[in-house]
Amino acid sequence: MLIESVPNFSEGRRSEVMAAIADAARIDGVKVLGMEGDPDHNRSVLTVVGEPQALVEAIFRAAQVAVTHINLHNHHGTHPRMGAIDVVPFIPLQDATMEDAVDAARKLGRRFAQDLNIPVYLYEQAATKPERKNLADVRRGQFEGLSHRMVSDPPDFGPAHPHPTAGASAIGARLPLIAFNVFLNTTDMTLAKNVARAVRGSSGGLVGIKALAMNTVSHGQVQVSLNLVDYPKTPLPRALEMIRQEAMRYGVTVSHTELVGFMPAQAILDTVRYYLQQPEFRLDQILEWAIMADSSLEQP
Amino acid sequence: MLIESVPNFSEGRRSEVMAAIADAARIDGVKVLGMEGDPDHNRSVLTVVGEPQALVEAIFRAAQVAVTHINLHNHHGTHPRMGAIDVVPFIPLQDATMEDAVDAARKLGRRFAQDLNIPVYLYEQAATKPERKNLADVRRGQFEGLSHRMVSDPPDFGPAHPHPTAGASAIGARLPLIAFNVFLNTTDMTLAKNVARAVRGSSGGLVGIKALAMNTVSHGQVQVSLNLVDYPKTPLPRALEMIRQEAMRYGVTVSHTELVGFMPAQAILDTVRYYLQQPEFRLDQILEWAIMADSSLEQP
């Protein structure tokens, strides 16, 4: 049973600190798939996959290292944050259920409180109150507002005051999401905002889509940055084609796209079936996939 | 080092015979990925992958079974054939080279001759004469014409006369190919032939494409059946888009497509990069691929 986690750390500039955090997570039963830092956000994302118990242990060890190196009083970046280990989502893969992911979130939360003295708010599918479902609400006020806010809003685990240097952490469970950027052949940010508004669920567009217009004009283009939060229902190719269509209203074309991090195989299946018009396509028709998926055949 | 082979047997109707052939190939170091029979063609294709020495042994064992069950004197089907084990292509995968595949073809050829008394013609990259490069030329005259033809055209291995019931075999080495069918929303076979002619390399179309119009009018559609024989140079999405364009000249659209057997991961990469306009996309950005490709993480 495999679970994925993408813990976010409030460090995106000191590469030796990011490397030390990632190294601490390399234990038996856990695979570190990536560690990506963003200097502007001053934030990094670790991608780890493993069996639940080992995964909780690996993230705890990474958090131990993060706490010794990160002091929120000295932390500046463009991304909102309330803790050194700002947010830890658990994501069920394969045979794992959402309940398994919620269980992992609770176990990690207890360890953060007991062994690191960091207060923990459970969010999304792990939330204990409806008003803690949405991560943005949980993080409102950021690190600087924690002391005041925690008096009336005690955490799920740990003390009702922030850790002196590491603040508080949000730990939760959710479905996988796809982070996908679409670059448009224009420098017109108003146009990009119009396209983002058209495709975004909260403003009348596709239900499973969060979209933001991003100023990347220095590259000669603007970007529509997408989160696909329910890609089985609102699949990637449909979102991309809607952006193409909306941009074309203004005579503007898509220049290229990029994927941030990983995407689930289901999104590849959806993409191939859509564009090749091949509803019967299966991933095990990819020769290398069929070979890898068969454990009886050793890889060279 | 992995090599693929897709031996073609002249049996596509008796499922117990096809199962016995496939079972004989299941030995250590070899993975049987599929066995597909076509009753009209009266022909089956076994897909096997493995380390070269084990793969040659596995196909030899499958051939031993085939020889005991198949008699070409009683064989009728729409597909041209000259032997019970009609054709055996070896295809280099991953770190294997074409030379490795040619070597496997020669080794299997020697065993067919010595242990089964079946004459063998080497073809394509394994051919010993230019006029044996093309499989269709090697098979010309079919089983019925073998006795006459072999007098003046002796095989590379084995006797200069056909095996009494199993005929002769063509064994060779080639790059992987993709077999891909495109269904058009029309019953007009003339139109399908025009589209096939436009896209096919031999009549002025794309170099790496073989194309045939197939009568599937009983399904309310016609089919353009493609072989992509050099998919790195002439990739799948470009071929499909050209068919779409040519059909649209007549106001006809693509209904759907189908893949016959497997396609290499490179074709998926090409498809995703093309349609998502994402030139930087890598297969290890697929979460499940990254997990499978890492042998340090045991699968559940």
Phi, psi of A228 (to 5 degrees): -95, 105
β strands within A166-208, DSSP E: 169-173, 178-184
CATH T-level fold of A178-287:
Alpha-Beta Plaits (3.30.70)
Q: Which CATH number fits domain B178-285: 3.30.70.3400, 1.10.10.10, 3.90.1260.10, 3.30.70.670?
A: 3.30.70.670
Closest CB to B300 among A2, A268, A286: A2
For chain A, domain boundaries? 3-173, 178-287
Tens of pLDDT, residues A152-191: 999 999 999 999 999 999 999 999 999 999 999 999 999 9
Question: What does the pLDDT read at residue A294?
Answer: 67
CATH T-level fold of B3-173:
Formiminotransferase-cyclodeaminase; Chain B, domain 1 (3.30.990)
Question: What does the pLDDT read at residue A296?
Answer: 45
Question: What does the pLDDT read at residue A295?
Answer: 52
Write out chain B residues lying below 8 Å of A275, CB-based. Answer: 237, 271, 274-275
A181 in B contact zone (CB under 8 Å):
no
Query: Does A79 participate in catalysis according to the annotation?
Result: yes
Write out chain A residues lying below 8 Å of B175, CB-based. Answer: none
| Closest CA in chain A for residue B295 | A299
β-bridge mates for residue B286, sequence order: A263
Task: Give residue A117's identity as a one-letter amino acid code.
Answer: N
Question: Å from B150 to nearest chain A CA?
Answer: 37
Report A:48-107 residues touching B (Cβ under 8 A): 49-51, 93-95
Tens of pLDDT, residues B259-270: 988 999 999 999
Mean pLDDT, residues A51-70? 98
Write out chain A residues lying below 8 Å of B271, CB-based. Answer: 271-272, 275-276
Do A275 and B277 lie within an 8 Å CB cutoff?
Answer: no
| pLDDT tier, A298 (very low <50, low <70, confident <90, very high otherwise) | very low
pLDDT of A99 strictly over 90 = yes
CA distance A46 to A9: 8
Q: Which two structure tokens, joined as six digits, stand for B72? A: 């070409």
Write out chain A residues lying below 8 Å of B235, CB-based. Answer: none
Nearest to residue A11, comparing CAs of A57, A47, A44? Answer: A44
Tens of pLDDT, residues B170-213: 999 999 999 999 999 999 999 999 999 999 999 999 999 999 99
| pLDDT tier, B292 (very low <50, low <70, confident <90, very high otherwise) | confident
Nearest to residue B171, comparing CAs of B37, B10, B56? Answer: B56
Question: What does the pLDDT read at residue A297?
Answer: 42
Report B:112-151 residues touching A (Cβ under 8 A): none
Whole-angstrom CA distances from A261 to A46, A157, A258, B281, B284 are 10, 30, 9, 11, 10
B94-101, long-range: CB < 8 A, 24+ apart: B94/A288, B94/A300, B94/B1, B94/B2, B95/A300, B95/B1, B95/B2, B96/B1, B96/B2, B96/B3, B96/B52, B98/B125, B98/B173, B98/B175, B100/B1, B100/B3, B100/B52, B101/B3, B101/B125, B101/B126, B101/B173, B101/B174
| pLDDT tier, B295 (very low <50, low <70, confident <90, very high otherwise) | low
Closest CB to A263 among B256, B274, B285: B285
| pLDDT tier, B297 (very low <50, low <70, confident <90, very high otherwise) | very low
User: Please, are residues A19 and A96 in contact by the beta-carbon 8 Å criterion?
Assistant: no
- Strand, coil or helix: B254: strand
pLDDT of B214 strictly over 90 = no
Nearest to residue B178, comparing CAs of B113, B268, B71, B282? Answer: B268
**Mutation for B interface: A45, A97, A284, A286, most B CBs within 10 A:** A286
Question: Å from A4 to nearest chain B CA?
Answer: 9
**Mutation for A interface: B45, B291, B294, most A CBs within 10 A:** B291
Same CATH topology for B3-173 and B178-285: the answer is no
Q: Which two structure tokens, joined as six digits, stand for B188? A: 């007009």
Query: What DSSP assignment string belongs to B110-172?
Result: HHHHHHH---EEEEETT-SSGGGSSHHHHTTTHHHHHHHHHHHS--SBS-SS-BTTTB-EEEE
